[in-house]
Structure formats: C-alpha cells, structure tokens
Amino acid sequence: MYSFASLQLVRDVIMRIDIITVVPDLLKSPFEASIMQRSIEKGLVQVHFHNLRDYTTDNYKQVDDYQFGGGAGMVMMIEPIDKCITKLKSEREYDEIIYMTPDGETLTQNIANQISLQGNIIILCGHYKGVDQRVRDHFITREISIGDYVLSGGELGALILCDAIIRLIPGVLGNETSALTDSFQDNLLAPPIYTRPAEYKGWKVPEVLTSGNFPKIEQWREEQAYLRTKQRRPDLLEE
C-alpha cells in the first residue's frame, strides 16, 4: 500500500486539465497569477479552456433549451457537450470526466488528493438549470460539489477544484511537504502557526516552537492539531 505522499514523489506525468464552459473568460484570469500561473509556466500542468458555443450548429450559438415537461429554467443540450467531449477523447485518454454540480459528492481533501494523481481530466461546468441528464448518464465519471448551495454556474467550482489539486502536484509549491501538512490531511485540522517577532505587544509565541527541540515541536503540533480538530470539527475524528 502506497501513501499519498509516496505516490506524489514518483509522479512523472504532466497533468492536463480541459475545462468545458460557456463563459471561458470567467476562468482565465486566476490561471494568470500566483501559484496556478507558476505551475503552468514550469510545465507541471496544462490547462485548456473549451467554449461550448464552438460546438453548436445553431446560428445564434445557443447551447440551452427548454425542459421537456415544462418548468422554470433552461437546460444545457446534450449535442454540443457530446461533440466537445468526443473530440477531446479522440485526441487522448482521460482518467476522469468531472461534472461540477450542487448534488455531486462534496469536495474534500481526500478527493483532491485522488484527482491530483491523475494524468488527464475533463471538467464540465454546469450552467443555467443544469445539463441534460443523458450527459451525466453516458459521459460523466465523477460529479463534484463545493458545498450545499447553488451558484450561477460551475465555473467557480471548477476553479476551486483546480486550485485544490494543482497545489498538490510536486514542484508547484516551494516546499514539497507544505501541502502534506495542510488541514484535512489525515483528517486533522492544522495546528496554530506563528512567525516573527517571537513577542508582540506582550503576546508570546509558545516557547516550545523556539526551543529548537524538533521532536518536542512535532509532538506539540500533533497535540494541537488533535485538540483543534476536537474543538472545531469533531466529525473528522469520527471518520
């Protein structure tokens, strides 16, 4: 059995993320700054945006229509989604085709860990009322939600998912072990953290952290992580 940390160390595949959306401009800027930009510039991940309107034969580039049976809200049609996904799959194999939807499984650190180990993934951003159910039945391999609430579209959820998985790729963060000590790794919240100065307005950093005794520091951090989790998220300890 390999741990998540050991699997990350032997990763030798560049991750490719294809995002299908009706509003690609909403997605681009986050990938042009900070950690996600650096990961792309380093060649550790490739991110490609696909405008669903490029795959419709409608003169007005329409990708949605009324629901069968009536009801409020428009539905994303199956044909342009089928054409886009089929074209991508003809060019390479994909490990996951993910649909961002409020009724999917709630995104957790463990799910982010799993997906970060994949090679190629497609993320389909829902919009309007959602997608034709046949898309979910025949194309989607995983459905993910970022919480029990509804947004205008799946684009913001896709950005959150991308950020959560890209930062786990070896070489993306400056410190290889940083992501492995985040909250929710091992079902624990992260312990309190401090930086200079050691004393400010009479508020002191715990002495153990400045002692230089690293076994004691690690023991303190483990204890604090457990206590914080017990106080704030006892449900994680039950898991």
Instruction: Set out the domains of the chain in order of their start, with CATH numbers.
Output: 4-166 (3.40.1280.10), 183-238 (1.10.1270.20)
Global pTM reads 0.87
Residue with tokens 């106080």: 231
Q: Given this model, what pLDDT does residue 1 score?
A: 37
What's the pLDDT tens digit per position in 93-124? 999 999 999 999 999 999 999 999 999 999 99
Which amino acid would we find at residue 133?
A: Q
Looking at residue 179, its pLDDT comes to 63
Average pLDDT, stretch 206-210?
Answer: 97
Partners of 48 in the β-ladder? 18
Q: Is 35 exposed, middle or buried (0-12, 13-18, 19+ CB in 10 A)?
A: middle
pLDDT-above-70 percentage for the chain: 90
Average pLDDT over every residue of 136-145: 98
| pLDDT for the residue numbered 105 | 97
| Alpha-carbon span 230 to 189, nearest angstrom | 9
Rounded average pLDDT over 5-33: 83
| CA 49, chain centre distance (Å) | 16
Percent of residues, the chain, with pLDDT higher than 90: 85
Q: What value does the mean pLDDT of the chain take?
A: 91
Q: Within 10 Å of residue 80's Cβ, how many Cβ atoms?
A: 23
